[in-house]
A and B are shown apart, each in its own frame.
Chain A
């Protein structure tokens, strides 16, 4: 379980930005997990279990604050314009692009793409059908590609043709 904590933190930070909020969420997740060790089901991986707890805590937190305006997290990312990176994928651009996704899409893109969870695990963690995971993933990644201007980078010819197909 301890081995999973840095991953939880990586995910929380990618989800929420590098502010204290992410570390709070990691801390709360660990606390709740420890309080509920007895409820940990046989055969369930600690990773899936911990991510589920983190997700539920995050949702609860969002519900509690739902009357406040949505927190976008850009203030944690630094707002100065970074020079256009040659690879079109500088870290800050990626942070910003991720924060511009809906939180639902961001969760799926990060759990699958960054944390390497399977679609089934992601569906269980987020308590949504696998089909929803797949559609959010496609939409979220599509949006990221556009935001990151991937179509303009690297192999220009084939990427331009893909844009036309879309």
Chain B
């Protein structure tokens, strides 16, 4: 390979740690083939990890101190031996099924963790993970270009807006068009002073009812999503849930002020 593209040290660590998406991984591995010094670093990192695992493996096997076992035993839901754990697991499944049924009957009264999110959320998080690592092509149309909103509104088919998050420290970089099961969706990208990125995903929604804020997590990315017909939104980032929630609140309020959100009040928060 030629020297036109240097692999950074960060990329080498990310490669070893399984942090690269498939495309990046292939690209780095190609570059690596002609870079013996970098290969040596990769080998060293792997050797180090292996040395740590070997060195500390027996810490996993050593019996726990008496006081720790007592503490674990005090909590019948979390017993420490394998046999009881399996028994409890079976019991838990039964409880979960029952709770699911109850939860279905008492809609929304009981928090039920096994809620599956609508398909657009996975798409939003997927689009987030694909475009956020981009350096030069993070957005298709920059925020400074005034046709950004006009263009995306026309393509998505409903009036959309990119709320300002400047007061929260996030600058709008721009946006792009993203396919969502054959239909156009919009993605706005924001960046903060430390280079962290956030995306707001918007698509037209006619099938789903309006929902309150909900949280989804996938591949280390979190997203708050909600439906406010005729549009569905997902705000994604690698932020703590609370931080993301605060930003989603701001986005919602901004959208409402901009007139994009229609009459229903702010969505109730489901913690």
- Give the B-binding residues of A (Cβ under 8 A): 1-3, 5-7, 9-10, 13-14, 23, 26-27, 30-31, 34, 37, 41-43, 89, 91, 94-95, 98, 109-110, 112-114, 118-121, 123-124, 127, 129-131, 134-135, 137-138, 141, 144-145, 148, 150-151, 154-155, 158-159, 161-162, 164-165
* Interface residue? B111 (CB, 8 A): yes
Number of A-B contacts (CB under 8 A): 138
CA distance A134 to B108 in the complex (A): 40
In the complex the two chains form, what is the Cα distance from A109 to B138 in whole Å? 30
- Determine the residue in chain B with the shortest Cβ distance to A92: B55
Which stretch in B61-69, B91-99, B166-174 binds the other chain?
A: B61-69
- Given A2-B72, A5-B64, A114-B53, check contact A158 B220 (CB 8 Å): no
Evaluate whether A89 and B194 lie within 8 angstroms (CB atoms) in the complex, with A113-B52, A138-B9 already known: no
**Consensus secondary structure, chain A interface:** helix
Q: Is the CB of B68 within 8 A of A23?
A: yes
A144 vs B55: C-alpha distance in the bound complex, in angstroms?
15
B196 pairs with A158, CB closer than 8 A: no
Residues of B within 8 A of A (CB): 9-10, 13-14, 17-19, 36-41, 43-45, 47-49, 51-56, 59-62, 64-65, 67-68, 71-72, 74-75, 78-80, 85, 111, 113, 194-196, 215, 217, 220-221, 238, 240-241
Q: A110-B52, A131-B195 are known contacts. Are A14 and B238 too (CB-CB below 8 A)?
A: no
Residues in B with CB closer than 8 Å to A42 are 111, 113, 215
B63: min CB distance to chain A, Å = 10
